[in-house]
Amino acid sequence: MLGLKKLFRSKSAASNLPADIQQALTDWRAAPAAKLAEPHYHTRYVVVDVKTSGFNPDQDQLLGISAIALTQGGCILPDDVISLDFSDQETESVAVNRQLVAFLQFTAKAPLVCYHSPFVSAFLHRAYKENLSLDFQPEAIDLAWLLPSLFEDKAQSVQPLDHWLEAFNMESDGRRDSMANALTLARLMQRLLVRATDKGIDTASKLVDESIAALALRRAF
């Protein structure tokens, strides 16, 4: 797992990384940002779920990342996925860093779609900051807050994920691993994009703003 000894590094950690990892980080930083003003179906979204040892991002460990892309057109392609496992305590830090870089390359700066994005984002931010000295703060879309905001006929407040599976008549076998969760979230995101477009929230930028507004509004009550 991403244990404390591996996570807490000196400020010079980035300069001690292997050359290939440093080059990959340089290339990622230099890559253009996603064009969030384009219509949804011209935009690539990356749906993310994480496996953790607990619920406290400051103390608990990131054990894995699963992600599925919604390609331009809103499609889910079987080969446009990534699954990373950090749960092996014997995993060398260089191998972990290469997996973290692989996730960066997979996202390609696309907006991330999560269920409870503050939770997911906090674990990701800590892992990248402490392993790669990277301030990873991608644009995030939070389905937990957006679904009740856009589907008020199905819920008036934030609900457990299983509520939405039942509301949309989506099959569920109970307990799911992080990849199964990511696939479930991707299917919910497809439905949300249709509703958002109908309501005039027709770009990634507007959807990010709506997610932030929904989170702020509901936290105020």
| pLDDT tens digits for range 183-211 | 999 999 999 999 999 999 999 999 999 99
Residue-range domain boundaries for the chain: 4-219
Task: Average the pLDDT over 104-114 and give the result.
Answer: 96
Superfamily of domain 4-219, CATH level 4 = Ribonuclease H-like superfamily/Ribonuclease H (3.30.420.10)
pLDDT band at 175; cut points 50, 70, 90: low
Claim: this prediction has a pTM higher than 0.75: yes
Give the Å distances, CA to CA, from 41 to 81, 143, 194: 18, 18, 10
* Residue 66 amino acid letter: S
The runs of H, that is alpha helices, within the chain are 4-7, 19-30, 93-107, 117-132, 143-150, 161-167, 178-198, 204-219
* Residue 220 amino acid letter: A
